[in-house]
Amino acid sequence: MTKSDLIQHLAEKKKMTWQHAEVLVEAVFACMEQSLRRGERIEIRGFGTFQVRSYRGYKGRNPKTGDVVDVALEAHRALVHLSDAGRLEFEPVVQCLERDPIVRSDD
C-alpha cells in the first residue's frame, strides 16, 4: 500500500474529499516523523510501536586483506514492533521495512 492508496482508502471509507484525506495523512506522518527525529517512541495501541535507534561506528575487518579498519558510519535504524494483533495483519509490511532499514544521518 502506498501513501496514495492510504489517502484514497481514507477518503472512500470516511466519505471525504481526496484533498481533505491527503491533509490528514500528511499531518499524521509529519507528526510521526518529527517525534522520531526528536528521539521519541511512538506507541499506537493495537498496532505497534515505532522508534529510532542510533548505532555508532565500529572496528571492522577487511575480508580480503584481514586489516582492521574503522567503520565510522553513524547510522539510525527505524524499528517497528507490532502488537500481537498487528503482527498477524501487517507482517508483510515489517518484512518490507526490514529489507532496507538503515537511514544514514546527514546531521
pLDDT digits (tens, 9 = 90+) for 30-40: 999 899 889 89
Handedness of CA 72, 76, 82, 86 (dihedral sign): negative
| Of 75, 28, 25, the residue nearest 55 (C-alpha) | 75
pLDDT digits (tens, 9 = 90+) for 44-64: 888 888 898 887 878 889 899
Alpha helices in 14-76 (DSSP H): 18-37
Q: What are phi and psi of 72, to 5 degrees?
A: -90, 15
Average pLDDT over residues 61-73: 87
Identify the H or E element spanning 76. strand 75-82
pTM listed for this prediction: 0.61
User: Do residues 76 and 105 make contact, with C-beta atoms less than 8 angstroms apart?
Assistant: yes
